[in-house]
Every structure is written in C-alpha cells, then in structure tokens.
Chain A
C-alpha cells in the first residue's frame, strides 16, 4: 500500500500519465464526434496508424513538426471521408466498413513506410516536439511538472476537450451533429443535409484520431514501429461508451485509464518479480472490458447509431 502511495507521489508518475492520456483523448474525442453523428468508426485503429506514420514521415522527410500534425490530420480526414462515403452515402455496414478501413489503412501505412525506408532495420528517430514549460504554473509541486511542462500536442489535446464540448453542446453545428445521431428525420425536416453533417463529423473525428496517432510518433517514441498503435484505437472505442458520449467524462475516463497504465508500468518494476509482466500489460485491455461492463446498464447510445439514413425513405 505504501508502495502505491510512493508511486502517486512521484512527479514522474503524473508526467507519464499525462503523456499516455494524450493520444487517448484525441482518439476518444474523435470517436465520440463520429458516434454522436450516428456513425460508429471502427477505422480508428487504422486511422491512428496512418496518423502515426504520416506525422512522423513528414518530419523525417524534412518537414516541420506542426506541418506533420496538419498532414496527419488531413490524411485522417481523408480516410474519414472514405468511411463516410461507404457508411453515410452508401449506407453500408458500419462494422464491416470500419474493420475494412482499419485493415486497409494500417497495411497501407506499413507499405508506404517500407517503400520510403526499404532497408531500415532499426527505426530511425526524429527530433520530436520539445516540452513547453508554462512559467509559474509549472512550479506547482507534483502536478505542475506533469501538467504544465508537456508537449504542445498534450496542451492541444486538453484544449480539444472544452472546444469539442462547446461546439457539440452550445452551437447550431453541434446541435445538428447530435440530432443527426439521434433523429436524422428531424434534421432533414429542418432543411439540413443529414448526409453532409454526418460526413463532416466523421471527417473531423477521423482527423482527431490521426493526430492522436501522430502524438505517439512525434511526441512519445520519436520513431515509427510496426503495430505501435497496439489496440489504443479499440480502447478509445470502449472509453466513448464509458464516457456515455460526453466529452468531459471522456477526459475523466481517459485520465483514469492512463493513470492505471502509468501505475502498472511502475508496479512492474516493484512487483515484477512475483507477477509476470504480461499480466500488467493485460490490464488496459481488461480494464476497457470492465469499464464497458460497468457502464453497460447506463449506456445511452445515440438513438440512430449504426442506422443508415436514406433520404425520403420512411423509418
């Protein structure tokens, strides 16, 4: 127990938590926007891989860091457009399309990486985002270092939470997005194009997912590895359910999750002798399943999630 307290009292633990949470925030918010508009986006795992590869490759080829982030986001949006063409315009199965996008997007990333770096055995590193220290605030003990001496992308992630909340809940666009996921016929009756709203939401959401992937290569590992997204996309899908499709709760869920993950890395060091490391690595996945079970009874799915909308068709 005192071990646990020791972990909680180190600045390193909090810094690690904030690092781990950043891609989860991007991914969870991205998925949340898609699902709020009524589209389940299981392409997330592949789109994060695309973001991770594109952002990294942009910088590796000599581009600047923010250019890489924008490139990753636009590539994500492009795959979002592909997903939306299939699920929104053609009304195809969102499950199968999403899996197809994930298979396609991740293998295409690996293909492009291998084409551009045919003989790299050890993945080369780039100069990543430097931590941006916010004066005064970063001097707060324990959490100051963790929250206010971080990569600019982490700030961007944290900033996205209120922005997404505000846009979804306080603007006409947000209302249209949420209604498209609850009652598309009503949106149509208002003279708003449901298909366009859904497509837009999926593109923005996918762009956010891709930035989440870019964080992993541009602000964390500094290199691109095969299989590096490693199920984070699926965890984000679980987190959206855990958060009941609310941005604020998504932030909370992501932090809980990242905290546990940061703790398991540290617990591995102290308890690794008794408990095999694989059980620690299992924790995030098991936790995600548990989170879904806990929230299952209260989950209020957007009413029109998974339901394709066809103009003029009766429901």
Chain B
C-alpha cells in the first residue's frame, strides 16, 4: 500500500469530503440500528423528522446549534495553528461563570450595553482559562491536549462548588443553581414561540468575523502559517509563540461566549448540566467544517440535528439516544479519512 500526494485538489472533492464522511457514518451506524431491530430507513426518517419535521423541531435544531457554532469555531481556530484545544467544555463553563457573576445584579446596564458586556466578560473568562495551557505550552512545552482536558474536570468542580455553596440561589428551593441573569442581560428570543434566541445572530456574526480575520488579516495569515509549518513561519519572521497565544485567546473567548449564550439566551441561570458536552462535540463540528469558519455553521446545524433528531427518534422507537454520540464519534473518524483522500491517493500495488 502506497500513499501518494495528489498534485492538485479540486474544490468539488473538498466539498464532497464532509458529505461522504456523513454518509459513511450514517451507513456504519445503521448496523447499530439494525441491531435495535428498527428498519434503518425508517429510523433515519424519524431522525430527520425529529430535527426538521415541524416548526418546533426546526427551532430546537437551530437553538441547539448555537453553542456548537461557538465551540466549533473555538476548535477550528485553534486547530488551524495546530494548537489542540480540547478544553472548549471548560472554557464554556468559565464563560458561563463570568456571565452569572456579572449578570445577576452586580452590574446593571441598559440591554444594548449589558449584552455586549456579558459576551465580553464571558469571552475574557474563557480566554483567560486557556491562557494557562497556552503559556505552559509556549514556555515549558507542556502538551496542551492533556492540560486542556484536565482543566475541564477542574472547572466543572469549581462550578459544582459555586452553585452548591456561595453562588447558590436561595430562592431555588434547594436546587443547586445560581440566581438568574437580570432582564437586561437576557438574550431576546427571535420568534414569539419557542426558545430560539439572539445568540444565533451573535454566533453567525462571530463566524463571519473569524472568517474575515483568517482571510484578510496578518494575524489570520500567521495563524495558518504556524499551523502549516511552524519552523518555516519562524524563519520568515513570524513570532510563533505570540501567534499561538493570540490563537488561544480567540479560541477560549469563542468557547466562553458559548457559555454566555447558553446562560443568557436559554437557561437564565447556571447549573451543572448547562452543557451536555458541547465542547467535545465542537471538535466534531470543526473537523466536519474542515476548520473553515463559515463551514462551521452548517456543520453545527447538522450535528445539532443529529442530537435533536435522535432524541425524538428514541422516544418513537426503541433506540438508545447514545446513537447520536456514536454518530458524532464516527463522523470525526470518517471525516479524517475523507479529507485525507482529497489530498492523497492510495495505491494498493506495492
């Protein structure tokens, strides 16, 4: 078996990569559906209907995609410079902590200032949390994957302590949760019915902004240069460490905004189950988007549809909801292969 670099890659092939990966993932997971004794096409039809079949379903899918757009962007930006931030989950909670700290009455501004302010402090909190692993990486060469992963567990315990202890809402009938964000800090809903909130607009704007930064600015160019070949970038005068630190601040900030948007747009307060692993799913989103900031939006929508659809499917037929997580995991592996096939060809002859 020989692996050969292709001379050129057509845009069609790049565009087909995620589609074929998703197709492969759906085919592979159909084995599990057959095992559950449900006709495969019927199960996927139910999943599709659960995600897109009604106005309510559509709104849920879009609502769920908001944090995934943010965490997907966070991962995409970081992976572009080969900074492997797997800590979006923790940074999301850091952002949420900042939002409830400043948003539950400590600061009171008119809504048009309050919302940007909360997003800003949330982004700062997420960025600051990621500053620890990135400084450890640039100063001491400590592997960032392990530190970001371990910090996820630490932050969750900090949240657990705060909502059971000093930040617990005394009015919550003993439930471990914080007080609610003041009205000025609540992201307004977009439609009369349903939970879809203005976080979607912020997320889409963030995608466009990140795309513009990557496409048109020196920083964006440097981030990509460091990712392609850090040594070459260093030789041509890029300050690699500084670039990686900036990347980390942006990445952590985006993940932090996911936390703000979940608290201020959806829940209103902070609990331990704010995120069912949005940070980890962000890796899948970014990979499916091939790290492209604008492609993050459809990728997030797709995975959000998988989760929303799988919930509704498992209510209708007897398939555990974990099928959604399996699909996400398989898609990460499948996209790796399909992207590789856009750049290389495999020759089976020796």
Contact = CB atoms under 8 A, between A and B. Distances in A.
Contact of A234 (B149, B325, B336): B149
Interface in B319-339: 320, 322-323, 325-326, 328-330, 332-333, 336-337
Interface in A220-254: 230-231, 234-235, 237-238, 241
B46 interface: no
A104 B330 contact: yes
Interface of B: 1-3, 32, 35-36, 79, 84, 86, 136, 140-143, 145-147, 149-151, 153-154, 157-158, 160-161, 164-165, 280, 283-284, 287, 318, 320, 322-323, 325-326, 328-330, 332-333, 336-337, 340
Nearest to A114: B320
Interface stretch (A14-22, A68-76, A94-102, A175-183): A94-102
B36 A99 contact: no
Q: 8 shortest A-B CB distances, which residue pairs?
A: A104-B329, A107-B325, A103-B329, A100-B332, A114-B320, A296-B140, A278-B161, A111-B322
Interface stretch (A199-207, A265-273, A282-290): A282-290
B86 A86 contact: no
Contact of B329 (A92, A93, A105, A285): A105
A289 B151 contact: yes
B329 A107 contact: yes
B325 A115 contact: no
Contact of A276 (B2, B143, B161): B161
B284 A103 contact: yes
B32 A111 contact: yes
Given A92-B337, A296-B136, A281 B320 contact: no
A292 B326 contact: no
Given A86-B336, A91-B3, A96-B336, A289 B147 contact: yes
Contacts of A107: 322, 325-326, 328-329
A310 B130 CA distance: 34
Contacts of A42: 145
Nearest to B324: A107
By secondary structure, the B interface counts as helix
A108 B324 CA distance: 10
Contacts of B32: 111, 115
26 contacts: A92-B336, A92-B337, A95-B84, A95-B145, A96-B283, A96-B287, A99-B332, A103-B280, A103-B283, A103-B329, A104-B329, A107-B329, A115-B35, A231-B149, A237-B145, A276-B165, A278-B157, A282-B154, A285-B151, A285-B154, A289-B147, A289-B150, A292-B142, A296-B141, A296-B142, A297-B140
A85 to B, nearest CB: 9
Contacts of B153: 230-231, 282, 285
A279 interface: yes
A238 B150 contact: yes
B303 to A, nearest CB: 11
Given A89-B1, A231-B149, A293-B142, A99 B86 contact: yes
Given A96-B287, A100-B333, A289-B151, 15 more contacts: A86-B336, A92-B340, A97-B336, A99-B86, A99-B332, A100-B336, A106-B325, A118-B318, A237-B145, A238-B146, A279-B157, A282-B157, A289-B136, A289-B150, A296-B140
A163 interface: no
Contact of A103 (B1, B36, B79, B332): B332
Contacts of A108: 322, 326, 329
Contacts of B283: 96, 99-100, 103
B1 A104 contact: no
A165 interface: no
A111 B330 contact: no
- Of the candidates A92, A101, A107, A286, the one having the most CB atoms from chain B within 10 angstroms of its own CB is A107
Contact of A293 (B140, B165, B336): B140
A178 B283 CA distance: 31
A256 B153 CA distance: 20
A187 to B, nearest CB: 18
A110 interface: yes
- Of the candidates B136, B153, B284, the one having the most CB atoms from chain A within 10 angstroms of its own CB is B153
A237 B146 contact: yes
B88 to A, nearest CB: 11
Given A92-B340, A115-B35, A231-B153, A103 B147 contact: no
A196 interface: no
A96 B280 CA distance: 11
A262 to B, nearest CB: 18
Contacts of A106: 325, 329
A137 interface: no
A244 to B, nearest CB: 14
Contacts of A100: 283-284, 287, 329, 332-333, 336
Contacts of A110: 320, 322, 325
A88 B294 CA distance: 31
B330 A90 contact: no
A91 B4 CA distance: 12
Nearest to A83: B333
B160 A278 contact: yes
Contacts of A96: 79, 283, 287, 332, 336
Given A100-B336, A103-B328, A107-B329, A281 B150 contact: no
A101 to B, nearest CB: 7
B146 A288 contact: yes
B139 to A, nearest CB: 9
Nearest to B159: A278
Given A92-B340, A282-B157, A86 B150 contact: no
A97 B329 CA distance: 10
A92 B141 CA distance: 22
A313 to B, nearest CB: 9
